[in-house]
Amino acid sequence: MTRWTIEQARAWYAAQPWLVGCNFLPSTAINQLEMFQAETFDRATIVREVGLAGSLGFNTLRIYLHDLLWHHDWAGFIRRINDVLAIADQYGMKVVLTLFDDCHRPDPAIGVQPLPVWGVHNSGWKQSPGKLLVEQLAAGTAPAAELARLQRYVREVLTTFSGDPRVLMWDLYNEPGQSGYGDASLALLKLTWEWARAVRPSQPLTSCLDGAMGEQNIALNAALSDIITFHCYDGPSLAKVIQRVRDVAAGRPILCTEYMAREQGSTFEHCLPIFKEYRIGCINWGLVQGKSQTHFNWQTAKYLDERRAAGRFVRPGETYPEREQWFHEIFRPDGTPYRAEEVTFIRQMTGRI
């Protein structure tokens, strides 16, 4: 099956409201594995925090999956995805599902996930499928069984939810080439596109331009995405980035699937009016302060090994460390906002108030 035509992409986008929402990970999960594993699936927290997103007038959630979840417990994983989709639907939100990811820790494993390292941004987030397989695929040495496993994961998840109106779109591979991989990720990216297009779900397929690394990765995503997506964490350059991405899109709709980093000028007050003026969908990073600690900035990752070796963890029942200016996130776990005036502004922009 082929890529959507520009006319199909425009018709789909015209049928949507102004898409505005957040990347969602419950505060009690340190990564996508902990979010969806049976032992740690925290439905009560998910319901409460998706409700917070709904209270902002958000209509879109972007949620990461993981290949090991499918491999370990296919039936249970699908049930829990269905449950999350139902919760989102209850609050009037559709979901962007993301299959693979090159960001942060390279060594995913099923089971008990690491404790948060004190004051470190995303100290326990895990890549999917991870460094070993990405490099083996690039070198042509990946075991046939692992290649078949990844293919089944992509095809069966897409097939299961193809046509599901609760799924807005599929983000096949988040930021391919990050973590220093560059175009080493191209082999997996190509296969992912091949597998996904063999299913050709009714929802659009995409993988980001800005945010990806490696000229070939970016070129492939630009050539194959039904809807063009990008990331922009630099507030002052947002308008210029939008114009450049629009030029590449050549008439296709564009959507920002990651933004909002207060220290970089990427604030709601700055970005939302621009996105709304151009009617560009926008999905900020983060919702509730929690185990991912993404209220701390990226630079804190340089302290990861030192603090982990010293045993500086945030243990169950302990309070997350605070900082004066949050990087990402909107609410504390008790539902109080980081900045009440910011929440009011978001609600005004979405028409919630």
Convert the pLDDT of each residue in 130-150 to its tens digit: 999 999 999 999 999 999 999
For the chain, the average pLDDT equals: 97
Domain ranges in the chain are: 6-350
Say which CATH architecture domain 6-350 belongs to: Alpha-Beta Barrel (3.20)
* 353 pLDDT higher than 90: no
Give CA–CA dist 70/86, Å, rounded: 19
Q: What is the mean pLDDT of residues 217-240?
A: 98
What pLDDT was estimated at residue 1?
63
Average pLDDT over residues 27-43: 98
Looking at residue 281, what is its pLDDT?
A: 98
**pLDDT by residue (tens digit) across 306-336?**
999 999 999 999 999 999 999 999 999 999 9
- Give the Cβ contact number of residue 299 at 10 Å: 11
pLDDT-derived band of residue 52, with 50, 70 and 90 as boundaries? very high
User: pLDDT tier at 8 (50, 70, 90 boundaries)?
Assistant: very high
DSSP tag of 299: G
Provide DSSP, 84-130: HHHHHHHTT-EEEEEEEE--SBS---SSSPPPPBTT-TTTT-B-BS-
Measure the CA–CA gap between 211 and 321, rounded to whole angstroms.
28
Amino acid at 239: A
How large a percentage of the chain has pLDDT more than 90?
A: 99
pLDDT tens per residue, range 149-194: 999 999 999 999 999 999 999 999 999 999 999 999 999 999 999 9
Is 296's pLDDT higher than 70?
Answer: yes
Q: Residue 315 has what pLDDT?
A: 96
pLDDT in tens, 251-273: 999 999 999 999 999 999 999 99
Cα–Cα distance measured from residue 311 to residue 70, given in angstroms and rounded to the nearest whole number: 32
- Check residue 167 and give its pLDDT: 98
In sequence order, which residues have a C-beta less than 8 Å from that of residue 351 and are 6 or more positions away? Answer: 57
